[in-house]
Structure 1
Amino acid sequence: MAGSIEAYETMAGPRYRVRYRKPNGASTDKRGFRTKKEARLYLASVEITKAKGEYIDPADSRVHIAHLGKEWLESKTNLKPSSKTSLETSWRVYVEPRWGDTPVGEIKPSHVETWISQLAEGTAVTARSRDRRNTRGPRSATVVLRAVGVLAGILDMAVRDQRIAKNPARGARNLPRKESTKERRYLSDDEVVRLAAQSGPHTTLVLVLAYCGLRWSEAIGLRAQDVNILRRRLHINRAAVEVKGIIELGAPKNWEKRTVPFPAFLQKPLEAALKGKSTDGLVFCSDTGDYLRRAKSDEDAESWFARAVRAAGIRRLTPHDLRHTAASLAIASGANVKAVQRMLGHKSAAMTLDTYADLFDDDLDDVAERLDARAVKADVGKLWARAVS
């Protein structure tokens, strides 16, 4: 039985009800059609979606985002603690306040694009605005993109579960571009030496960060067994990330374990750092042997790093700027982009080029000079003059 159409009377006039069976055999209906033609078209569309295996149960599409959001977050068991914390914060602060009470089947692309504009302008409802905290102010592209990504991920799950036919959060036309306005700092060799000299017991750590390009979490996660003094290699096998005041151990960023060479001048300082430590001992640790906490870098901070920066007469920078410095020094020394990519643990050479495009300007001049030397050798000027004449 394909289904049936029945007429019934209302205060506004005749209406039509469509009765049909779901793929599981259960009977259901939809009412309120103004004409019999509308009812027939709806019944035909139902039968077509059933035949294609694309049927969406109206009851399933009425589930609220609040319910699906919790399911989606619980499914993210493969994420690093820091990544999952970011998603949970975005859900709690931005996504749930706006979409929690919304049935998944009622979300339209235009609704999502309006929300994106409101987030960017700082007018969207948030958990903080409900608590009368931080109620105004535009949100950065990073914050907006993460919030939209959370909503899109939830709706992807709804599509897979056949609650909706298409994800309305994918393909938004007004997503902001992620452009960092923060100045990237690159230190010279002289500045690195001055900073290291003022860093006391953390001198070797500063030099490793500035000449090996490790992330802070990778450096403080290094153990004695990860250092090969004879081959001058650091084996990056883990990252020690501070999440809500707790150090969480996990794989390096991008899940890329790698081996990083260190300059010969670092051999003796690293030997000194390893002296008396077991193979499982931390290379860089606190006075009590625990993981080092990320040093604050504000100009008025009293961390060892901030004090060293001031004592060295260097303009404010962060420990992560030492990673940028390592990239700069490597490129200036003639290292090719593939070698820099492997040292930094980027996913691809393209990512390295995009991140440090400003450092390759000198390479363009070098290319022009090499082409000019080649042309002079081949006497291209005379050949061109002959061709013109």
Structure 2
Amino acid sequence: MPIYEYIKKGKVHYKYAFEVKDTNGKRKTIKESGFTKKTECKIAEALARTEWEKGNHINPSAITFGDYITEWLKNKKDIGVKTRHTNVGHINNHILPAIGHIPLQKLTYEDIEYLIQEMQKKVLPNGKNLAEGTIRKVFNLVQTSLRAAVKRELIMRNPIDKLDKGSKPKAGKPKYDYWSVEEVNEFLSNLKHRLKILFILAIYTGMRRGEILALKWKDINFKTRQIRIAKAKTDAGERSITTSKFVIGALTDHFNQVLAEKSKYNESYIDNNYIICDELGHSLSTSNFHKFWTRKLEATGVRKIRFHDLRHTCASLMFSAGVHPKVVQEMLGHSSIKVTLDMYSHMMPNMQADAATAMENLLSQTEDNPPEKE
């Protein structure tokens, strides 16, 4: 077996390498390193051989970029169903018509420029141009696939590396929308739904949708008014936040409602301990969540925003109430206060004015009351 041992940072590692011939009879080496256990390396080597024998390895001299990126996406494992579906649409609607016919190894930065220009000129059936965000996502998809091609030694270098910075789609600043106090009160007062607690938690705590849907009753300490939030993927880890008496009261009412539903449906009730669940105890599905949210907005007649904007609404209301940015960071679970300030500095227009006034008051008091001379 072509398994090799080597030392890295004083520790034993393993790698495999074996030679094959492509359809043109040209020899190439398939290899991978970085394994800390010999057994893992053997298994990976066997899988690589099987993949080659099934014909899944690409002959770079014969494949077009369209065929390559389609196959690359097909074999990509670390994306969800919805993202995969969106990316397939980007490939079929934008990438294939513009540069799909070009051989992978002959793709140039001029071809990437042409793709971007074609997307920028495109007019949709509604008469609008393709959104900048969509163009940026298509560009990122192409870039990621080409990085993978370089890593697999299918091409020598990524043609995007030669692209002028000004030619690349610019990342626009994210737009944050949020409700005023009046809009929040209008929404909550007009909302009639058994899952009203979902929206109360979003507005009063700033929790993300996924965090709220993952909450279980064991995460609530009714005595200390604390909510334990499980670790999120991208920001700060597991955290606890202290909430208001109003939120705890709303949670208590919802708990009593759930108890009544358990009693009503008896053996048909599936007790998964989720706070947000349907009448039979099943967790709330995210597949139709947007439609669910849209219906609630229409029912209450409040100005339309995204559900995620309730998180921004929470931040805005806290800043309006004079809450310190560090507390807001901890509530929202940002990885650092810098993230909070970068996102919400526009919501704090009076902070510099308040600081200037505080300094003036402090110094004027000093001038009015100079230290006594000995």
- Residues 207-256 of structure 1 show CA distances to partners (whole Å, capped at 9, x for unaligned) of 21111112334323433233332333333338xxxxxxxxxxxx656695
Displacement of 1:77 in angstroms is: 2.2
Equivalent residue, structure 1, for 2:318: 330
Aligned residue number for residue 191 of structure 2: 199
RMSD: 3.6
Percentage of matched positions with identical amino acids:
21
2:292 and 2:118 map into 1 onto residues whose CA distance is 33
Matches within 5 A, 1:141-160: 141-160=132-151
Contact 1:297 1:317 in 2 (8 A): no
1:269 and 2:250 aligned: yes
Q: TM-score, normalised by structure 1?
A: 0.65
Determine the structure 1 residue equivalent to 2:45.
none
Report the counterpart of residue 387 of structure 1 in structure 2: none
Contact 1:64 1:104 in 2 (8 A): yes
- The verdict on how the C-alpha distance between 1:237 and 1:183 changes in structure 2, with shifts beyond 3 A counting, is closer
Counterpart residue identity of residue 217, structure 2: A
| Aligned counterpart for 1:280 among listed residues 253, 272, 286 | 272
What amino acid is the match of 1:93?
A: N
Report the counterpart of residue 15 of structure 1 in structure 2. none
Q: Give the 3 Å change call, closer, same or farther, for CA 296–152 of structure 1 in structure 2.
A: same
Shift of 1:331: 1.9
> Counterparts in 2 of 1:66-77, with a 5 A limit?
66-77=66-77
Does the alignment pair 1:185 with 2:185? no
User: What residue ranges of structure 2 are gaps of 5+ in the alignment?
Assistant: 1-19, 27-58, 263-269
The secondary structure found in structure 1 opposite 2:79 is: coil
Q: Distance in 2 between matches of 1:256 and 1:353?
A: 19
1:54 is matched with none
Assess, with a 3 A threshold, how the Cα gap between structure 1 residues 297 and 352 changes in structure 2: closer, same or farther.
Answer: farther
1:15-34 aligned at under 5 Å gives the runs none
Question: 148-157 or 195-204: which moved more?
Answer: 195-204
SS at match of 2:168: coil
Deviation of the 1:78 alpha carbon:
2.8
- The structural deviation recorded for 1:296 is 4.1
Shift of the alpha carbon at 1:267? 0.9
1:337-356 to structure 2, matched below 5 A, reads: 337-356=325-344
TM superposition shift of 1:182: 6.0
Say whether 1:101 aligns with 2:101. yes
Report the CA distance between 1:178 and its aligned residue. Answer: 3.6
Task: Summarize deviations over 1:98-145 as a string: whole Å, max 9, x none.
Answer: 33322112111122122212212216xxxxxxxxx8496422121111
Structure 1 position 316 matched with structure 2 position 316: no
- Give the aligned length: 300
Residues 374 and 118 (structure 1), Cα distance of their counterparts in 2 relative to 1, 3 Å cut: farther
Given the superposition, is the C-alpha separation of residues 143 and 323 from structure 1 closer, same or farther in structure 2, using an over 3 Å criterion? same
Matching residue of 2:221: 228
Which stretch of the first structure deviates more once superposed, 148-157 or 110-119? 110-119
Describe the shift of the 1:136–1:367 C-alpha distance in structure 2 as closer, same or farther (beyond 3 A): same
Which letter does structure 2 place at the counterpart of 1:204?
Answer: I
TM-score by length of 2: 0.67
Aligned to 1:117: 117
What is the aligned counterpart of 2:297 among 305, 324, 337?
Answer: 305
For each residue in 1:133-181, what CA deviation from the matched residue of structure 2 results, as whole angstroms up to 9, or x when unmatched? 8496422121111101111111101111222222112454323334369
Return the letter of the residue paired with 1:175: K
**Residue 87 (1) aligns with residue 87 (2):** yes
Please list the CA deviations of residues 272-303 of structure 1 after superposition, one character each: whole Å capped at 9, or x if unmatched: 222326872332234454416425489xx6x2
Match for residue 50 of structure 1?
none
Distance across 1 between alignment mates of 2:250 and 2:319: 24
Q: Is the 8 A contact 2:65 2:107 kept in 1?
A: no
- Within the alignment, does 1:294 sit opposite 2:289 as a pair? yes
Please say if 1:357 is aligned against 2:338.
no
Residues 297 and 303, structure 2, Cα contact 8 Å, conserved in 1:
no
1:237 to 230, 241, 245: 230
**Cα pair distance change 1:27/1:70, threshold 3 Å:** closer
